[in-house]
Amino acid sequence: MVGILRQSRMIMLSTTSAAAITVSALDGLLTGETQGFAIDATTIGNAAYVGGPDGGDVLVGDTTTPANNLDHVPLDASNLVQSGTSAKMVQWSEAPYLRWTPHNLLLQSQDLSTTWANTRTSESVNSTTAPDGTLTADTLIEDGTGSTSHVFHQGFTAVAGYTYCFSIYVKAKERTRIAIGIVDAAGSFGDGAYTGFDASGGQVAYDQNTSFGSGFTPVASGIESVGSGWYRVYQAVTIASDTSPFVNVWMDGGSGVSANGATYSGDGTSGIYLWGAQLNRGYIPTPYLATTSAARIGIPQDYDTYEELFGILVERAATNVLTRSEDLTHAAWTGTQHVVITANSTTAPDGSLTADLVTKDNTLPALLNDITTGSTSSVTYSVFMKMGNWRYVSLQPNNRSSSGKGVLVDLQTGTILSTLSDGSGYALLGSSITSVGNGWYRVSVSVDPDSADGRFMILMRPDGSNTTWAPTWGGNTETIYVWGAQVEDGSVATSYIPTLGSTVTRAADDITATAFPIGSANSSWHQTKVLALHPASGTAVFGASLSDGDFNEEMWHGYEFPQPWFRAFNAGSSVAIVANIDTSWPGPDVMFRGAWYAETDHFNQALEGDVDTEDTSGTCPTVTQARLGRTYQGGNDGTVRLYKIVLVPRRYSDVEIA
């Protein structure tokens, strides 16, 4: 049986489980096709989504077997690659509800003889079956040195203040216990933090979340069975200032679950099985991603609370210009007045104990942070808030004096009650309140400001009906929880970007499928579900494109406001433009389905069953890869969730694309 890892519950599935996927999950669009490419990010369970959270299938059709024979395999990095340079935080369907996309910052995660370094240890590579069913697990072997530690390690580049989680799969051999941690010195105890684990009993053996020296604060650790005697163990550590730390694995020759045997005399032959080392940001391990010579960023799947389904989330680059997004006690929030801040009072949406309690003092309870946005058009303010004993609160961006726009929300019902206005210098572009689980809501307000100097302002409100811009009221025991403030350019709130003292930029998602059975230049493409969060009017949102890796040969389908467009380029020149559908842009947060076909002298598109007029002139481009949510020619100014995509190397009829 070949195992497939699913995370976070780490359930083992057989290949027969993977083959049990039905074509109905793809709306039957591959039925009868002999070649094709399909992605279905909506099915919870079944085959693993490599690079995604628990649930969602990414499939590639076999080039020799009809697709309706279900001969599909999980899509791997050779087919679908995230070449964006930043991991990011997305919403999950289970607690903690806000997590990092899968990523692995360590190199050679399954080959312990490469990149890794040894201190009184050695390896025997590919010596047993790994948790994924492959013969890729190694044995770490102690040498015969007496009364010392036997260590295995790899260095990495850290950002001061970040929390990193080191995880590795372990299975008992002659030795049954290890300790893992993050430290300042390879192979030794200097400054660092660690936990000891027992792989024979599947439990913490000793010194859970223990620090030594200074500068490394352990925040979480754990051990979880993944079957066949394998366990995944992890240690999360906040690094104060060291930018060149190491992940360490100490072999342990002790006995019993309470004795620390990390310093002992080796016998030169005893070992323990290891596989799948990973380092990621955050407090828990993200789904495992194998690496070789480079770090790997996984495909972002976001949990859509509207449809209660996963979708591949494709976003433009964004910068959080608010420099202390989670610490309301910092001097950056010196404008805060008539409230008392109690730091780290409850669990934040990402599972960390970093959310602050805000208690009303008197008169006008306000949280204030003055920032420079760098833009005088389309700026979005957002923040995560949760009800304490008070439910009414407002988010009110303003220019620090006499202009601003905002919304009054109810944190008990998760609704926007009214809009708020001060002066005429700000225009309100949009607002939202979205549940992110465990009573938390993300509230956002998008504005056109009259100045690049802005103010992030949250006010606790006396009730749900007072729309005065700055009401004063009595009382001094009302409370709310606040976490994760963000200010960015654009008219929608993108995925949350934590900051620790400076602005932080998240790179644009760039997801491509570079090896798929297209067969010929002729093609048809279905986007069976697309959720587009539109940017400012006049810019563009794209579902997907096919190209040769350049804009010389390319086809794309999306919205060039105010209507949908299909466009094809051959040898750098536009050969087909189809943009006659009367259907206008459906608006933000609206699911829609698009399709197109392309063949020389035959180009057309459809939107929600509305078929356009065919363009009957032009040579079909020669394409070699798919790009999700973007084009090579124009990028993407919006945010798109892609749910189901099917590509076949032939021209559909007008009836088929409807």
Main-chain phi, psi angles of 377, to 5 degrees:
-150, 140
Which pLDDT score, from 0 to 100, does residue 4 have? 27
**pLDDT score recorded for residue 36:** 65
Tell me which DSSP letter residue 160 carries: T
For residue 258 the two structure tokens come to 């309470």
Could you tell me the end-to-end alpha-carbon distance of the chain, in angstroms, rounded to an integer? 42
Which CATH code is given to the segment(s) 319-506?
A: 2.60.120.260
- Give the single-character DSSP code of 324: B
Distance CA 374, CA 45 (A): 44
Q: Is 228 helix (H, G, I), strand (E, B) or coil?
A: coil
Residues of the chain with CATH 2.60.120.260: 103-297, 319-506
Q: What are phi and psi of 67, to 5 degrees?
A: -65, -30
CATH assignment of 103-297, among 2.130.10.30, 2.60.120.260, 3.40.50.2300, 3.30.830.10: 2.60.120.260
Give Cβ neighbours of residue 22 (< 8 Å, ≥ 6 apart).
70
DSSP letter for each residue of 512-565: EE-S----SS-EEEEEEEEEEE--STTSEEEEEEEESSSSSSEEEEEEETTEEE
- The string of pLDDT tens digits covering residues 368-414 is 999 998 777 889 999 999 999 999 999 999 999 989 999 999 999 99
Q: Does CATH place domain 1-82+302-316+508-658 in 2.60.40.420?
A: no
All CATH 2.60.120.200 domain ranges of the chain, comma separated, are 1-82+302-316+508-658
Q: What pLDDT does 33 receive?
A: 60
Low-confidence ranges of the chain (pLDDT < 50): 1-26, 44-78, 517, 519
10 Å CB burial of residue 437 (0-12, 13-18, 19+) is middle
Q: State the Cα–Cα distance between residues 24 and 56, nearest whole angstrom.
A: 14
Distance CA 193, CA 314 (A): 36
How is residue 161 written in tokens? 């203040």
Name the helix (H) or strand (E) containing 489: strand 479-489
